[in-house]
Chain A
Amino acid sequence: MIGVTSMQEMTQEVIRLTLSDKTASIEEILGDSIDVQRRDFMFCGNPDYPGCCYSIDGLADAAVIDAALKALVVSGTELVDEPALLATAEEILSCLMFNAAVRACSTLAAGIERILSGDTLVLIEGVEQTLLISSKGWKDRSVEEPASENNTRGPRDGFTESIRTNTALVRRRIKDPMLRMEGMVIGTRSKTDVNIAYIQDLVKVGLVDEVKQRLSRIKIDAILESGYIEEMIEDAPFSPFNTLQSTERPDKVASALLEGRVAIFTDNTPVVLIAPTYFWQFIQAPDDYYNRYWVGTFFRMVRYIAFLISLTLPSIYVMLVSFHHEMIPTSLALTIASGREVVPFPVLLEAVLMELAFELMREAGLRMPKPIGQAVSIVGSLIIGQAAVQAGLVSPFMVIVIAITGISSFAIPSYSSSLALRIFRFPLLIASGTLGLLGFSGMFFILLLHALSIRSFGEPYLAPVSPFQQEAQRDMIVRMPMWMLDARPDFAQDTKRMGEHQKPQVPKEQKP
């Protein structure tokens, strides 16, 4: 084991050591891990110039290493008579190597970091610097349709665990030279690649600096998922609302970049973060724009209704049935009363029980092995939907209310934000079950005030509804035709995205 300070001293200094010293220190730092590959060779076939290359088995592509060794040994023997002529790393890589990505590296620390990222480090006796061959070649999941964000019309590709694939997917959509990707490494042990993507002449002024500053503040051992980053940089750390949008869809990221937002890619996860975020983005789906605007508007309205239902329906039902019976139309009141005739629990308890049962079913369905998934859904729905009603434990009306609420919560495109709504349902439910309309409205206002108070990277969370922005209303409750959506959000540097008179015109009939 080697001390941290001495390791830093040793690896920071420019390498003036002999090959054996270098290999000794590398092996001391890396230990004798089984996946560290060492390959010795003779530079230009000359025994006076021994060389050595390091790579990690499984991360490095063997074919790339083969090609490098072929260049250094075979081609070197053929082309170079005297290895001493190629005394520096730059000369070797410019005269001898035919790999696309090779660079010289002067410190061992950087070299070791690159080895652990999948590159190959080449050391040659008598050459001060080392050569780093980019040889990343591990097994990747292929680009597949994202499982949690589906649509009927639009691209089917989703992000993967590889950050380069992910940035490439966005780059393919925006072939703009102004699209910038800035790299960053976070995590003292995981050394996770984090990329910040933005379009330089669109992005909100100062946003990139703010994102970079917040990211560089993170001091953590490892980043395993973008959720780690999200929690470390968000604006309202105590709020159940998520102030960063997370998505697996490259088209969503591309559209966010085109609106002047910033995307944060994290290696090893398909989930990309987008900032700043408005609350309403969670209710909007890419389909709204890909389908024609009538359809888009209609689906969007359905989703707003789903949002309201999933937040308030159980509370309103509990409130009406236990406090405000006069607000229910008589016939409906009788039907509800007849269904509740034999139910032994108060409505509030009934609702909480059913909500819990529903959450149990959802969670169990998510966690359990796929082959037995059907068993749980059959048993769960039978028990809750049929047997509980027949046994007189819950009223049929409550089953309907909870079922509609459940379905509505699944209609919200962003799964992570539908979870936040799910959490908000319980305080609302308890408040309206104990204090009636007073409790419901009180709790609703507390939630509303909270949502109004938070910001996402300087943008008000409930914009463009509050503060009201006239221009943005075209793409808020309704989705206006594409030729009317000619503006970017206010915070973008250039808010005009469309030429004049884009509405298609019927050509005037030409006389023969």
Chain B
Amino acid sequence: MKRWLCLFISFIPLLLLTTSCYGLQQINELAIVTAVGLDVGKAPGSVKLSVQIIRPADARGQTGAPAGGTGQPIYSVSAEGDSIFDAIRNLGHFTSRRVYWAHNFLIVMHESYARRGIADMIDFFTRNHELRMNTWVAVTPDAPDEVISTITGLEVVPGQAVDRLFRNIQIVGLAPASDMRSLEEAFLSPSVQPVLAELKLVKRGISNKKPEEHGSIKQVELAGAAAFNKDKMVGWLSSIETKGAMYFLQKLKSGIEVVSCPQSKDQIVTLELKDIRLKVTPSYANQVPSFDIRMKLQADVVENDCGAPITEIREATERTLKEKLALHIEKAVARAQHYHSDFLKLADVFRNKFPVEWQTLGTDWNAVFVQAETTVEVEATIESTVLKAAKQEVK
């Protein structure tokens, strides 16, 4: 008994020695990546990878300890390689710290890279244990290294700024919240196609020192979407098409819409949409699927420039609103059919209703989907005029 105990006790230090602290990495010895950009490299088939790395001392400023110099909060570098992982390895030639991916917020790809095919990117970013599936994914027509290294005004870390933009999508409703999960899900599905958000640089920031330049500072804007067929990007969606698609993709519950007044095209009334409900009912006849898309919503008047009380213009405004929303949806569907890419997830609705028919149609859904007929019907009621009531003779 005593011998065993002695043996056991002498083994414990040995055990600790042999581990050599496997996996030990101090947090300040890591290069924490918060955004990645992917572009086509100079050599054919190669990848140009740019990363935004945090410099914690400057990202957080003086925290009592002497900080490591005063400079930029981020350090952006790019490297090329035959594959993504090769490019990451090549980053090691000039990053003095180990590149650490677990805090990555954003993967942004250039349009040309996306058009070439993103299968390698999906594989790498889902296979690696350090990467997370809740990373946002976007496509940009601008240079991705410029997008990731553009410092925004409000956040210290640009990656964090884009993260916040994505989180506000339910309110703004101008781009789909595409992350690795939704991308992987659509990529693996035989029928549904991926759609990614669009990031671009716009000159919107106004310099405090040179206000006469009227917004010459580039800012990152999240608006629009890119449609994919399998792993290849097929084209952009216009802002109206994106709006229409958002009802399908994000199940938007609210939004705003500006419609012109009944009596004059120049005057407008602004409506806030609430309780939006979208219901897609598939039907199947003559080898052609058709979809009945019904939308129900309520609207509040938030701004009325018509010069008439709402009681007078209610019906006309409701009609204009219905037409406008129906147009958005129709355009989105038309665009999807044009691209041969069912990013609106109509396939899922159809399969749930007609599992038997799906067996035959599903194998070539993209071709079938193009021929699908859709009818769009919108039910909109303007209920509230907010604080201004017609009874009190206010408009």
199-244 of chain B: CB within 8 A of chain A: none
Contacts A326-B102, A341-B56 given; does A333 touch B32 at CB 8 Å: yes
Q: Which residues of B contact A338 (CB under 8 A)?
A: 56-61, 63, 65, 67
Q: Taking CB as reference atom, which chain A residue is nearest B54?
A: A334
| Chain B binder among A182-190, A258-266, A342-350 | A342-350
- Which of B26, B27, B63 has the most CB atoms of chain A within a 10 A radius of its CB? B27
Check B103–A330 contact: CB distance below 8 A.
Answer: yes
Give A394 Cβ to nearest chain B Cβ, in Å: 9
Which of A97-105, A288-296, A317-325 touches B? A317-325
**Interface band, chain A:** 20 to 34
Chain B residues with CB under 8 Å of A337's CB are 27-28, 30, 32, 54, 56, 60
Q: Which residue of A lies closest to B100 (CB)?
A: A325
- Whole-angstrom CA separation of A317 from B332 in the bound complex: 50
State whether the Cβ of B7 lies closer than 8 Å to any Cβ in chain A: no
Q: Determine whether A455 belongs to the interface, using a CB cutoff of 8 Å to chain B.
A: no
Q: Which of A301-335 contact B (CB under 8 A)?
A: 321-323, 325-326, 328, 330-331, 333-335
- B68 at interface (Cβ–Cβ under 8 A)? yes
**Residue of A340, A342, A435 touching B27 (CB-CB under 8 A):** A340
A406 interfacial by beta-carbon distance below 8 Å: no
Indicate if B270 sits at the interface (CB-CB under 8 A).
Answer: no
Question: Residue A396 at the B interface, CB < 8 A?
Answer: yes
Cβ B25 vs Cβ A322 within 8 A: yes
The residue of chain B having its C-beta at the shortest distance from the C-beta of A329 within the complex is: B103
Beta-carbon contact of B24 and A330 below 8 Å: no
CB-based closest 8 A-B pairs: A326-B102, A338-B60, A337-B56, A338-B56, A340-B28, A341-B57, A396-B64, A330-B103
Q: Does A436 contact B (CB under 8 A)?
A: yes
Is there a chain B Cβ closer than 8 Å to A336's Cβ? yes
> Which residues of B lie under 8 Å from residue A339 when comparing CB positions?
60, 63-65
B19 touches A435 (CB 8 A): yes
Residues of A143-170 contacting chain B, CB below 8 A: none
User: How does the 8 Å CB contact mask read for A373-413 relative to B, with 1 for contact and 0 for none?
Assistant: 00000000000000001101001100000000000000000
A268 contacts the other chain (CB 8 A): no
Select the residue from B16, B56, B67, B132 with max chain A CB neighbours within 10 A: B56
A390 and B65 within 8 A (CB): yes
Interfacial chain B residues near A77, Cβ < 8 Å: none
Q: Is A434 an interface residue (CB 8 A)?
A: yes
Shortest Cβ gap from A118 to chain B (Å) = 47
A322 touching B27 in the complex, CB below 8 Å, given contacts A333-B103, A338-B56, A338-B60: yes
Q: Are A325 and B66 in contact (CB under 8 A)?
A: no
Residues of A within 8 A of B292 (CB): none
B44 interfacial contact with A, CB 8 Å: no
Q: What secondary structure prevails in chain A residues at the interface with B?
A: helix
Contact between A335 and B25, CB atoms less than 8 A apart: no
Write the residues of chain B forming the contact surface with A, with a CB cutoff of 8 angstroms: 16, 19, 21-28, 30, 32, 34, 54, 56-61, 63-68, 100, 102-103, 105, 130, 132, 157, 160
- Picked from A322, A335, A341, A390, the residue with its CB within 8 Å of the CB of B68 is A341
* Smallest beta-carbon distance A447→chain B, Å: 14
In terms of DSSP, what is the predominant structure of the interface of chain B? loop
| Residues of chain A within 8 A of B21, CB atoms compared | 322, 433-435
Contact B66 A322 (CB under 8 A): no
Contact (Cβ within 8 A) A326 B103: yes
B99 to chain A, nearest CB (A): 12
Residue of A nearest to B64 (CB): A396
CB-based contact B26/A335 at 8 Å? no
A341 touches B65 (CB 8 A): yes
**Alpha-carbon distance A337/B68, docked complex (angstroms):** 11
In Å, the complex CA distance between A392 and B64 comes to 9
Cβ A395 vs Cβ B26 within 8 A? no
| Contact A330 B34, beta carbon cutoff 8 Å | yes
Given A342-B68, A389-B65, A390-B66, also A347-B26 (CB < 8 A) = yes
State how many angstroms separate the Cβ of B277 from the closest Cβ of chain A.
35
User: How far, in whole Å, are A436 and B23 apart by their CA atoms in the complex?
Assistant: 8
Q: Is the CB of A336 within 8 A of B16?
A: no
Cross-chain pairs A/B with CB under 8 angstroms, 14 sampled:
A322-B21, A326-B130, A333-B32, A334-B56, A335-B60, A336-B27, A338-B63, A339-B63, A342-B66, A347-B27, A392-B66, A395-B65, A396-B64, A434-B19
| Given A325-B100, A330-B34: 4 more A-B contacts, CB < 8 Å | A333-B103, A337-B27, A340-B27, A389-B65
Given the known inter-chain contacts A330-B103, A334-B59, A334-B60, please indicate yes or no for A343 contacting B25, CB distance below 8 A: no
Chain B residue contacts of A323, Cβ below 8 A: 23-25
Residues B63 and A396 in contact, CB atoms below 8 Å apart: yes
Report the Cα distance A434→B59, complex, angstroms: 29
Looking at the assembled complex, report how far the CB atom of A10 sits from the nearest CB atom of chain B, in whole angstroms. Answer: 47
Contact B16 A335 (CB under 8 A): no
Instruction: Give the contacting residue for A340; candidates B22, B26, B32, B157; CB below 8 A.
Output: B26
CA distance A435 to B20 in the complex (A): 9
Closest to A396 in B: B64
B263 to A: closest C-beta gap in Å? 53
